Amino acid sequence: MKQHGTLLALDTLASLDGREVGSVFKWKDITMEEVKDYPSLVDAVWKIVQELLEDSGQGNGAFTAEQIASALAIPYTWDSNAVVFGIAQANSDLVDLGYCKGHEEFYGRYHRISPVPYPPKMLPSVYNNPPPLDKLRPLHQKALQFFHEQTVCHESGITFYCEGRDIPVEEVIRALLPNETDMYTARDKIFPAINYLKEHGFVSGVITSGKFRLWPTLRGAGCLRHTSNTF
């Protein structure tokens, strides 16, 4: 058993570095499965922020990525992927959804957040209300799964998305339309599908005429979590 402040890590399946998904954590009176996907991380960060607020006794306390990392038993360094792309992105999603106010941006994400006076009552992953994956068109499904596979990270016991790499259009076409021999026809199918995902908030990043740098958003990850063969 490892104790980090008031956090008790229970039934851990491995050491702190490289822990397997599925451990259980008890943060004060909140017991939660160790975050197995990105929506679970956002929910966990929200629960921790609420408990930190209760502990502080302040009505408008603001809490840092370092404090949240400590509560999740994650070694903190300001530039680690788990902090920048995991916790800080979860902070930013809580701000975008109206649960928190954001302070001190770094890498385009919030380092410090404070709960708003009247946040939504349901967990962020539920409030975000993503559709099931099978509600998307088949090519949209394949594209979302493809960018998930390219960018998903499992580090320090949490799951999140890195910004990934520039992927040439031709590579995406080969992955999503392997039987399409006409490159112009393939491009005419690929670009509308991927633009749809970005315009409807399933992915974030950059689309150019020759490459993609995209990763799933909280909405996209919530959509994917309904698919058993994705995670």
Query: How does pLDDT run across 120-145, given as a tens digit for each residue?
Result: 999 999 998 899 999 999 999 999 99
| 116 in Cβ contact with 100 (< 8 Å) | yes
Q: Which residue has 């491009």 as its token pair?
A: 187
Greatest alpha-carbon span in the chain:
64
| φ, ψ for residue 49, nearest 5 deg | -60, -40
12: containing domain: 2-127
Count of domains observed in the chain: 2
> Is 84 part of any domain?
yes
Q: What is the pLDDT of residues 34-59, one digit of tens each?
A: 578 999 999 999 999 999 888 766 65
Are 51 and 162 contained in the same domain? no
User: Does 15 have pLDDT greater than 60?
Assistant: no
Q: How confident is the model at residue 163 (pLDDT cuts 50, 70, 90)?
A: confident
CATH number for position 146:
1.10.10
Give how far Cα 8 sits from Cα of 5, 29, 68, 70, Å. 8, 11, 14, 11
Phi, psi of 90 (to 5 degrees): -60, -40
Q: What is the pLDDT of residues 16-36, one digit of tens each?
A: 233 333 334 445 543 445 578
pLDDT of residue 231: 35
Contact 113, 101 (CB under 8 A): yes
217 domain-assigned? yes
User: Does residue 193 contact residue 140 with C-beta atoms inside 8 Å?
Assistant: yes
Question: What pLDDT, in 10s, does the model give residues 166-197?
Answer: 999 999 999 999 999 999 999 999 999 999 99
Flag whether 231 is in a domain: no
Q: What's the confidence (pLDDT) of residue 227?
A: 64
Q: What is the pLDDT of residue 62?
A: 87
Q: Report the C-alpha gap between 68 and 100 in whole angstroms.
A: 14
pTM of the model: 0.82
Region of 223 please: left (phi>0), alpha (psi -120 to 50) or beta. alpha
pLDDT at 153 over 60: yes
Whether 150 and 170 map to the same domain: the answer is yes
Mean pLDDT calculated for residue range 161-166: 91
- More confident site: 94 or 8: 94
CB burial of 148-168 (b: ≥16 within 10 Å; e: otherwise) equals bebbbbbbbbbbbbbbbeebe
102 and 168 together in one domain: no
